[in-house]
Structures are given as structure tokens and as C-alpha cells.
Amino acid sequence: MRAIGWALLVMMTPLAAQRGVPSRGEISAMERSFDQRLQRFSFEAPMELLGMTRGLYLPAYGAVFTAEVNLVQTPGISPFRPAISKEDVARIRAAKVKRLPELKTMMREMLLTSAGSLDRLPLDEHMVLGVSLFYSSWEESAGLPRVITMQAQKRALLDVATNRMARTSLNSIIQTREEQ
């Protein structure tokens, strides 16, 4: 009987050790989920996902995901369109300025929903989502961020997701950083 107990203990030890570390499969599932959310953002005026979301787990820190997007699909320069008009430049800038708060809201929601999906990420570790924004060389991008990074502790995100904390506390839970 003792031998069976020891055998079970030995067999379960690797499982217990792995429970606190997200698998590559879990990280890949979150990558696909982020890609789908970004691609389905708006049917009428979609964002361009440039490359696929990449994620990784950093031991003792948390899960980090990055993506690169163009907030608004923009025309390219070609022999048929050798230059972009000033009106188009202004229109595209206005559309991107309008889209920025929408992207930030979506990023907060993505962090919130992903906290419940990464079961094996320890509660005291972080979830990070970084989005690099693409601008063509002809765009007026002064004052617009190049990178938006959001991070929060998984436990706090789960507290909001399960209504133990008010949804209005997301702004204080999620640390947001913009780089220009």
C-alpha cells in the first residue's frame, strides 16, 4: 500500500510543478484570440494586423503578448497614386486619433478576458499586452503613440472579471504606458 502511495506521489509531482506555468499551447491559444479580436474590430473600417501576435511566458513575471497594427487601412503610393493628398493625410490622422481610445478599450478588455483563460498563470504574476502602431512615412504622426503597453496583475484582473472589484477600478489596476 505504501508503495502505491509513493508511486502516486512521484507521478503527480511533475504535474504539480507544471500547474503554475502556462504551456506553449495556452500561450498560442491567447495569441490566436488576440489576433481574432484585432481582426474583427470593425467590419466597416478594419485595423490591419501586421504579423501575428506573439506571446511568451517569463518565469516569475508573467505572460507577455505583442502585436503590430495599423489603426486604419491606408492607401499606398504607387504609379497610379504617386502622392497622398493633404486632405487624405488629414483624414487618416483624424481617423487614427479617433481609433486610439477604441484600441485602448479593446486592449483592456483583452487583458481582462485573458486573465481567466490562462489558468496556470500564477495569481501574483502579470499579464502584459503591447501594441506597436504602424505609420507610413507620409503620415502626420506627431503626438501619436508608437507603442501602447498595458499590464496588470492576474489576481486584480480576475477580481474585476468575477465582480469582486468594480469594473471602474480597471483604470487603476491596469498600468498603461505610451511611447512616442
Q: Is residue 18 domain-resident? A: no
Q: Is residue 7 domain-resident? A: no
CA nearest neighbour of 99 among 38, 32, 33, 150: 38
Q: Is residue 93 domain-resident? A: yes
Residue 169 φ/ψ region, left for φ over 0, alpha for ψ in the -120 to 50 degree band, beta for the rest: alpha
Per the structure block, which three cell numbers stand in for 62? 508573467
Query: According to the 3-state scheme, what is the secondary structure of 44-107?
Result: CCCCEECCCCEEEEECCCEEEEEEEEECCCCCCCECCECCCCHHHHHHHHHHHHHHHHHHHHHH
CA nearest neighbour of 50 among 63, 39, 65: 39
Q: Is residue 130 domain-resident? A: yes
The CB density around residue 87, as the number of other CB atoms within 10 Å, is 8
How far is it, in rounded angstroms, from Cα 107 to Cα 86? 31
Q: Is residue 98 domain-resident? A: yes
151 and 175 Cβ atoms separated by less than 8 Å = yes
Which domain, by its residues, includes 153?
24-179
Integer angstrom CA distances of residue 170 from 80, 100, 112, 113, 145: 47, 18, 9, 12, 21
Q: How many structural domains compose the chain?
A: 1
pLDDT at residue number 14: 44
Q: Is residue 11 domain-resident? A: no
Q: Is residue 29 domain-resident? A: yes
Burial 121-135 (b: 16+ CB within 10 A, else e): bbeebbbbbbbbbeb
How far is it, in rounded angstroms, from Cα 14 to Cα 23? 13
In order along its 180 residues, the chain shows pLDDT tens digits of 544 444 444 444 444 344 568 999 999 999 999 999 888 887 777 788 998 999 999 999 999 999 999 999 877 777 777 788 899 999 999 999 999 999 999 999 999 999 989 989 999 999 999 999 999 988 999 999 999 999 999 999 999 999 999 999 998 999 999 999
pLDDT at residue number 82: 75
Q: Is residue 12 domain-resident? A: no
- DSSP string across 126-151: EEEEEEEE---TTS--TTS-SEEEEE
